[in-house]
Amino acid sequence: MNMASVGILFLFFIIIRAQSEGKAFVEVQCKTGNVGQYGQQSMLDCVVTTAEEVKEPKILVVAWKKKGSEDDSDKTLLVFHKGNTTGQPAYRFAESSWNDRNMNISLLITNTTMVNSGDYTCSVMTDSGDDITKTSLRVTAKYNKPTIRSIPENITGREDVTLSCSSVGGYPKGQLRWFDEHNQDWTASSKMEAELTNDGLFKLSSKLSLLKNSIFSKYTCIVFNSSGGKEDEVTLEIPDTATSKGQGEVKGLDQTSKIVAPLVVIGSLIVGLLLALLIYRRRSQRDHREVPTFESNAEQGAHVEMYKEREDGTALSLPLSGDCSCHMDITTY
């Protein structure tokens, strides 16, 4: 069937339809909100309904057309006429062994692509009347598992890094989001672009910049579809040596200070005691000067032992010799 005869047939339809307006013996009823999935089969679900009084209706003509988007010319997809079914290879009746007594005239699109989305018309002629109805198909495509690339490729922790995540093959426009190992959302720090590719699908790309001193050990890039449903994800593990060293140092410092603090306290106690002893000794030396005989005594090597009793029972024994070699024993009882 060539274009001209299809056109004449169509004109014929319209004339007959105009004559039978108001009778509605025959009606084509289509399901609304047909959604097709990219790469799979889609169906435009339509049935012919007839009035009660119509007994055993017989279909004479079915014509499925798609409304052209740019040139505005309709494209014939599937036609049943004079007992023959013709049309484009990717389209057929959804009913596998459809015949002119079958009122289910649903159109099956065998391999759905983006060009299949849009408005369709279905015209039917029966021996009891005819009808023409519009229906539409919306096509969605699931985004592929994203991939992550880092620039530079080797993350050393000594230089800033840009992570680049991309996911292709989705429709409509979705979103890429970034999370670290604590599930903190870093999307606000990223920049996403959506590009329409030749097959009518979107390619999403997002870049996340990492400063060399604040790199986490894991970054997950998740692709969400246009209605916010999670579709797929990918995780990049950063080598330990490259992860946020700054944070590690702070932690180390923390632990060190836990050990150092008591040491400082003990140290200052010891220093305090030493100072106390020194003052004690100075005083006793002053005392000695007032008694010169005692001093000469000390110079001769006489040992003076001094004990200082403390509340906790610690005693310091400081043997003092005249030449001040300053030995010190700390004895704990």
Ligand X SMILES: *[C@@H]1O[C@H](CO)[C@@H](O)[C@H](O)[C@H]1NC(C)=O
Q: Which chain residues interact with ligand X by CB under 6 A?
A: 45, 47, 94-95, 104, 106, 140, 225-227, 229
Nearby residues of 40 by Cβ (< 8 Å), 6 or more positions away: 111, 112
Residues in the chain: 333
In 3D space, the residue among 30, 14, 31, 23 whose CA is nearest the CA of residue 50 turns out to be 23
Closer residue to ligand X, CB minimum distance, 200 or 322 = 200
Please report how close the Cβ of residue 47 comes to ligand X at its closest, in angstroms: 5
Separation of alpha carbons 163 and 219, rounded Å: 9
Please report how close the Cβ of residue 113 comes to ligand X at its closest, in angstroms: 16
- The amino acid at residue 59 is I
Closer residue to ligand X, CB minimum distance, 54 or 94 = 94
The residue whose Cβ lies closest to ligand X is: 229
Please check whether residue 173 is in contact with residue 226, taking contact to mean a CB–CB distance below 8 angstroms.
yes
Closer residue to ligand X, CB minimum distance, 1 or 47 = 47
Please report how close the Cβ of residue 29 comes to ligand X at its closest, in angstroms: 8
Please report how close the Cβ of residue 175 comes to ligand X at its closest, in angstroms: 11
Separation of alpha carbons 10 and 4, rounded Å: 10
Please check whether residue 105 is in contact with residue 87, taking contact to mean a CB–CB distance below 8 angstroms.
no
Task: At 152, list the tokens.
Answer: 């530079």
Closer residue to ligand X, CB minimum distance, 34 or 220 = 34
- What backbone phi and psi angles, to 5 degrees, belong to 94? -65, -35
Closer residue to ligand X, CB minimum distance, 95 or 195 = 95
Please report how close the Cβ of residue 148 comes to ligand X at its closest, in angstroms: 22
Residue with tokens 């004559």: 19
